């Protein structure tokens, strides 16, 4: 563990954060200069890039999401193959900007979630992308598999972004909301002038996951998402269908709560497509209604669980949803008068934000600091997150 001990002595580190999210479209690589730790944390993003998966790799990842057909040997193979792809992504990005692996102190890798069931009889979660392979191929100390320590302590294992959100955005006089709209949408609330113990966060429901899956099916694979909401703009919201979708049991659960492909994945998207056809509406109407589902479920979460305790002064939005004008306008309409602002206006790349978060969590782990927020995840205690692997 010598490399990690030496890192505890460094005030400034170059750390790579790696993220492959629920959309499984590629590896997000963020190289971050991190100064200090805990409340003194300061960051500077040096480079960010997404290295897309090939169609073959993406298909193999999606095959692992199917609990009825996923094979143990393929899970084993993909664990190592993704570790190699993560390492190659790091080396590719470093080479492009003229930085050697020797100049990088640490990698923090979220991995690729293939199944998440923190409320099962035996709570469990599984992320693949073997960190031993990442560390060996890059020669860089690696910390990975951040969720399991929180789940071991009876937590949901998510949203882990709540802790980095607090370090980067807490404010003495403003209550800040940080909404990430990836495959799943999650909201962190930072009460004005309060400590980490007051932070609360939760998944709100589907972000782009169902919408993207339906676009891909409707276009026979020609499109993977509705760029700028162009298709949905051509349709109208089907109110009865939206009302029906908003009765999903997840929306009634009390936070902290998490969700993912197990609940809102391909199977649910197929159900939505069937219901769209049953309503005898156009594909564009269906996509407009799915877009509204993302907006309305976020708004409903805010109304049901946030506004009475900690009304927001401002909401910063990140993730793919921040680039969808229909979603952003819908949030502005339903959450008025709260200002809805792209997080990039705070100097943090919305696309890079989650990869940056895992660079920060790796730095916190090295310094021996807890990385979870029990009030957000439901864990029984604070935990140092991640598994440490020497190169």
Beta carbons within 8 Å of 156's beta carbon, 6+ residues apart = 118, 119, 150, 256, 257, 258, 377, 378, 379
Q: How many CB atoms lie within 10 A of CB 117?
A: 17
Contacts of 170 (CB under 8 A, 6+ apart): 176, 190, 194
Spatial CA neighbour of 162 closest among 387, 384, 345, 354 = 354
pLDDT by residue, tens only, the chain of 391 residues: 668 989 999 999 999 999 998 888 999 999 999 999 999 999 999 999 999 999 999 999 999 999 999 999 999 999 999 999 999 999 999 999 999 999 999 999 999 999 999 999 999 999 999 999 999 999 999 999 999 999 999 999 999 999 999 999 999 999 999 999 999 999 999 999 999 999 999 999 999 999 999 999 999 989 989 999 999 999 999 999 999 999 999 999 999 899 998 899 889 999 999 999 999 899 999 999 999 999 999 999 999 999 999 999 999 999 999 999 999 999 999 999 999 999 999 989 999 999 999 999 999 999 999 999 999 999 999 999 999 999 9
Dihedral angle sign, alpha carbons of residues 95, 100, 104, 109: positive
Is the pTM of the predicted complex or chain greater than 0.85? yes
Q: How many CB atoms lie within 10 A of CB 391?
A: 15
How far apart, in Å, do the first and last CA atoms of the chain sit? 10
Phi-psi region of 228 (alpha: psi -120 to 50; beta: other; left: phi over 0): left
Dihedral-angle region of residue 240 (phi above 0 means left; psi in -120 to 50 means alpha; beta otherwise): alpha
């Amino acid at each position: 563990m010598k490399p990690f001990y030496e890192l505890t002595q460094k005030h400034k580190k170059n750390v790579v954060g790696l993220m492959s999210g629920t959309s499984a479209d590629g590896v997000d690589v963020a190289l971050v200069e991190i100064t200090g730790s805990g409340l003194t944390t300061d960051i500077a993003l040096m480079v960010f890039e997404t290295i897309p998966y090939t169609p073959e790799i993406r298909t193999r990842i999606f095959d692992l999401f199917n609990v009825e057909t996923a094979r143990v040997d393929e899970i084993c193979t993909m664990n190592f193959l993704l570790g190699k792809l993560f390492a190659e992504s790091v080396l590719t990005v470093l080479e492009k900007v003229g930085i050697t692996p020797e100049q990088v102190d640490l990698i923090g890798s979220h991995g690729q979630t293939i199944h998440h069931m923190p409320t099962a009889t035996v709570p469990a979660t599984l992320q693949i992308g073997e960190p031993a392979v990442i560390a060996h191929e890059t020669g860089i100390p690696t910390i990975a598999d951040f969720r399991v320590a929180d789940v071991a302590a009876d937590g949901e294992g998510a949203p882990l972004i709540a802790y980095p959100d607090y370090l980067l955005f807490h404010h003495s006089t403003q209550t800040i909301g940080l909404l990430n709209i990836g495959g799943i949408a999650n909201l962190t609330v930072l009460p004005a002038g309060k400590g980490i113990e007051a932070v609360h966060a939760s998944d709100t429901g589907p972000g782009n996951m169902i919408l993207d899956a339906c676009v891909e099916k409707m276009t026979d694979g020609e499109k993977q998402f509705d760029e700028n909401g162009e298709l949905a703009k051509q349709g109208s919201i089907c109110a009865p269908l939206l009302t029906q979708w908003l009765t999903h049991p997840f929306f009634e659960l009390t936070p902290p709560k998490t969700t993912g492909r197990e609940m809102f994945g391909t199977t649910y998207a197929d159900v939505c497509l069937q219901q769209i056809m049953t309503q005898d509406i156009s594909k564009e109407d269906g996509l407009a209604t799915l877009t509204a589902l993302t907006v309305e479920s976020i708004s409903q979460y805010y109304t049901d669980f946030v506004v009475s305790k900690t009304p927001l002064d401002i909401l910063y939005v990140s993730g793919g949803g921040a680039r969808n004008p229909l979603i952003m306008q819908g949030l502005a309409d339903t959450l008025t008068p709260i200002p809805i602002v792209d997080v990039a206006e705070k100097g943090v790349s919305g696309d890079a934000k989650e990869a940056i978060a895992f660079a920060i969590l790796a730095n916190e782990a090295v310094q021996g600091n807890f990385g979870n927020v029990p009030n957000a995840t439901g864990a029984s205690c604070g935990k140092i997150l991640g598994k440490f692997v020497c190169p």
